[in-house]
């Protein structure tokens, strides 16, 4: 096997990763880039990867608008032809209503968690939004793991923006981890409401979702660009916690048959 390129297009950023699958060991991260779709550097990066015949497969996870996804998929097809897989199956039993509306990032993050532990899991992905999802093992080892659904909440940047827009005398603060809950000025109070409040919301979602899913004390998997705001310090230090920034990418690799990285 040669190299695999995984692309995770979120609401604000495109995360591009190249993995080596040449050895019998697990895939190794070769390179990483974070860009915007409109960034001209992206076109150069895609052209360079397309010219490299060692790149055998390109896969996409997208939660941007359908129009943006279609435009990016067209560019990838032009560059990579049959090497591009436009709709990768996450290999999960999706046990929710309206399966086609579940965000691909949620599904691939869950698949990534499964590839690392092969167990039940609560997956917390903190970015533009914060998602908390439940993953259960299958009843039969021959079947795929079960994605049970979860919750979607606004992420820290969205919360900070909403406070600034909704309050005539409020300002937009930059969320930072580790601040006090007892704010001594308006900015500190806003930051406390965003960060400490969000941590409280995540704690409650984890506890309630795992109880409703009958997955008490399942391992917790943390990912996403804003993960430090909700998992540092750990909300559940007595539990098994896995912090994995590449969880969505690992899910895409797992869906292709590659089970996690051997290191960067």
105 is catalytic: yes
* pLDDT above 90: residue 248: yes
User: Could you tell me whether strands 14-20 and 121-126 are parallel, antiparallel, or unpaired per DSSP bridges?
Assistant: unpaired
User: Can you tell me the distance from the alpha carbon of 38 to that of 112, in angstroms, rounded to the nearest whole number?
Assistant: 28
Architecture of the domain whose range is 93-248: 2-Layer Sandwich (3.30)
Per-residue pLDDT tens over the stretch 82-116: 999 888 999 999 999 999 999 999 999 999 999 99
Q: What are the C-alpha distances in Å from 228 to residues 33, 65, 146, 199, 244? A: 20, 27, 27, 10, 11
pLDDT value, residue 260: 55
The CATH H-level (homologous superfamily) assignment of domain 3-87 is ATPase, nucleotide binding domain (3.30.420.40)
Of 105, 133, 161, 185, the active-site residue reads: 105
* Confidence label for 61 from pLDDT (cuts 50, 70 and 90): very high
Per-residue pLDDT tens over the stretch 4-16: 999 999 887 899 9
Both tokens of 24, joined, read 């019998």
Q: Which sequence spans correspond to the domains of the chain?
A: 3-87, 93-248
User: Could you tell me whether strands 14-20 and 28-35 are parallel, antiparallel, or unpaired per DSSP bridges?
Assistant: antiparallel
pLDDT value, residue 178: 87
Paired with 62 in beta bridges are 9
What pTM does this model have? Answer: 0.94
Q: Which of 189, 222, 228, 194 has the alpha carbon at shortest distance from 206?
A: 222
């Amino acid at each position: 096997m040669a190299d695999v390129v995984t692309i995770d297009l979120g609401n604000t950023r495109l995360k591009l990763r190249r993995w080596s699958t040449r050895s019998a060991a697990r895939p190794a991260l070769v390179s990483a880039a974070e860009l915007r779709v409109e960034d001209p550097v992206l076109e150069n990066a895609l052209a360079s990867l397309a010219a490299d015949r060692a790149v055998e497969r390109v896969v996409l996870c997208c939660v941007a608008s359908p129009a943006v996804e279609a435009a990016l998929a067209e560019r990838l097809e032009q560059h990579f032809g049959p090497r591009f897989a436009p709709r990768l199956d996450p290999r999960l039993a999706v046990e929710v209503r309206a399966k086609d509306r579940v965000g691909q990032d949620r599904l691939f993050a869950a698949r990534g968690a499964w590839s690392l532990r092969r167990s039940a899991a609560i997956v917390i992905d903190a970015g533009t939004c914060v998602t908390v999802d439940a993953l259960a093992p299958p009843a039969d080892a021959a079947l795929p793991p079960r994605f049970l659904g979860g919750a979607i909440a606004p992420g820290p940047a969205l919360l900070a923006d909403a406070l600034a827009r909704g309050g005539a005398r409020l300002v937009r603060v930059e969320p930072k981890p580790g601040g006090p809950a007892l704010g001594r000025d308006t900015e500190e109070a806003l930051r406390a409401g965003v960060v400490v409040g969000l941590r409280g919301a995540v704690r409650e979602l984890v506890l309630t979702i795992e109880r409703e899913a009958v997955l008490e004390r399942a391992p917790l998997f943390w990912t996403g660009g804003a993960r430090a705001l909700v998992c540092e310090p750990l909300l559940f230090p007595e539990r098994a916690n896995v912090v994995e920034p590449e969880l969505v990418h690992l899910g895409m690799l797992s869906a292709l048959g590659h089970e996690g990285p051997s290191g960067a």
